[in-house]
Amino acid sequence: MKACKAFREWQSEVNFLGRLSHPNLVKLLGYCWEDQELLLVSQFMQKGSLENHLFRRVSSSVEPLSWDLRLKIVIGAARGLSFLHTSEKQIIYRDFKASNILLDGNFNAKISDFGLAKLGPSGGNSHVTTRIMGTYGYAAPEYIATGHLYVKSDVYGFGVVLLEILTGLRALDTKRPNGQHNLVDWAKPLLSNKKKLQTIMDAWMEGQYSSKVALQTAQLTLKCFEPKPRSRPSMKEVTEVLERIEAMRIKPKESK
């Protein structure tokens, strides 16, 4: 069973990455299937994954990401996801998470691992019905509940990563206090309040952004979490909002 699953995911990678090309998608350089060995060769990403930088260990030599770098990375990832959603045949990525966002030497983000990607709905349908797969904590609630996969199910997953970028906390962590294990459930009520928002922002970024910028990013995150998929913004709209936030470049007020 595992071998079949591995083959399907390998085949999906080859099928999607073999025909897609975008600055924010990892390039597939080659593949091989020999003696039950399934191999993929993709471009080398010097900085590793976003996950490694956001959730570094205390003893790690990896430097914490600045606000500007986090914004650059999440905009790149948003562009990649938007490209998939607006391609001739819509593609639902289905497993958007920090570990699948890889970074090159200049911290340019590239989406990787297309093993669970799925062609979007066709024939006037709003969704595709499929076996529930993905990563708990990132998967949209409607998908978990019904197996109905919408293009905007990816937008929910993007919102989770955006929340991780704001807080520096993992989507799921049982080491956190009771009531805080699930990041979305815990932090969502705090995102619309400027004062409460500051209590969950990653302390590593203190002084690097204005409260207005933080609140606008948090409000965008909330929109990604809308219960009904159709109420969520498209990834094109998400990208445009993030680009406007980046263009603001408002420095925080100096403390008196």
* Cα(215)–Cα(192) distance, integer angstroms: 7
CA atoms of 47 and 231, how far apart (whole Å): 35
- For 105, list phi and psi in degrees, rounded to 5: -65, -20
DSSP code at position 253: P
- Which of these is catalytic: 35, 68, 95, 104? 95
Contacts of 51 (CB under 8 A, 6+ apart): 97, 98, 99, 101
Residues 174, 182: Cα–Cα separation, whole Å:
8
Distance CA 66, CA 70 (A): 6
CA dihedral 26, 30, 36, 37 (to 10 degrees): -70
95 is catalytic: yes
199-208 long-range Cβ contacts below 8 angstroms, 24+ apart: 200/166, 200/167, 200/169, 201/166, 201/167, 202/64, 202/166, 202/167, 202/168, 202/169, 203/168, 204/64, 204/65, 204/168, 205/66, 205/67, 205/70, 205/168, 207/252, 208/66, 208/67, 208/68, 208/252
Catalytic amino acids?
95
